[in-house]
Amino acid sequence: MYTPSYFKDEDIASLHRQIDGTRLATLVTFDESGLLASHVPLLLNPDEGPNGTLYGHLAKANPQWKTLGAREALVIFQGPDAYISPSFYAAKAEHGKVVPTWNYLAVHVYGRAQVFTDPQRLLRVVSDLTDKHEARRPAPWAVSDAPDDYIQKMLNGIVGFAIPIERLEGKRKLNQNRSAEDITGVSKGLAASQNPTDQEIARLMSQGETRV
């Protein structure tokens, strides 16, 4: 990922927060047929290994799992993003030398996957994933709510994987390369938007996340 120094995020706690807060990640691998990608929810164990370990599962019908551990995998965690109009910049009125851009957060994770089919380990992964995403519901559903024989049948249709994180790349592109006046203009412009992700980027900028 191309990341100029002023957009680089190397704080592992910050990167882990974005990983944990991303509901759906993109898993990218390569085999003799070319590039393969799947969109999957993942769990992060931050204390397993020097950089943490990711856990997830794929359908057995998805051919990606068969070569998942053969080469390094890339997992993309996309955060909020926002289109930046030149009209937001104070510099537009000053000299007009401005163009559109995009503000966004992204984390790239690299590691070699380990595939597993042990039923108890699979059950733990799907249960933990379910608990995480049901937690805020008023009446959370749990895997144990379904009949045991049905759950076992479902587990037979998936394979699990763990990815010990070998390296991380973080990018927080929030106009750190612009003047304070331009940053204020962008933050105000996005805050006035009806788009929730625009508002989230504005919140991050107003909280001082633009500091290099």
Q: What is the pLDDT of residue 22?
A: 96
Q: What is the pLDDT of residue 212?
A: 41
Composition of the chain by helix, strand, coil, percent to 5: 35, 30, 35
Q: Encode the chain (212 residues) as per-residue pLDDT tens digits.
A: 999 999 999 999 999 999 999 999 999 999 999 999 999 999 999 999 999 999 999 999 999 999 999 999 999 999 999 999 999 998 777 787 889 999 999 999 999 999 999 999 999 999 999 999 999 999 999 999 999 999 999 999 999 999 999 999 999 999 999 999 999 999 999 999 999 999 999 999 988 655 44
Taking the alpha carbons of 168, 43, 73, 197 in that order, is the dihedral positive or negative?
negative
Q: CA-CA distances (angstroms) from residue 176 to 16, 51, 95, 171?
A: 22, 26, 20, 11
* pTM assigned to the model: 0.92
> Tokens 């559903």 label which residue?
141
**Separation CA 106–CA 9 (nearest Å):** 9
> Tokens 């991303």 label which residue?
22
Q: What is the pLDDT of residue 209?
A: 56
Which domains are seen in the chain, by residue range? 5-179 (2.30.110.10)
Locate 85 and state its tokens.
């109009």
Q: What is the pLDDT of residue 211?
A: 45
**Separation CA 91–CA 152 (nearest Å):** 61
Q: What is the pLDDT of residue 90?
A: 87
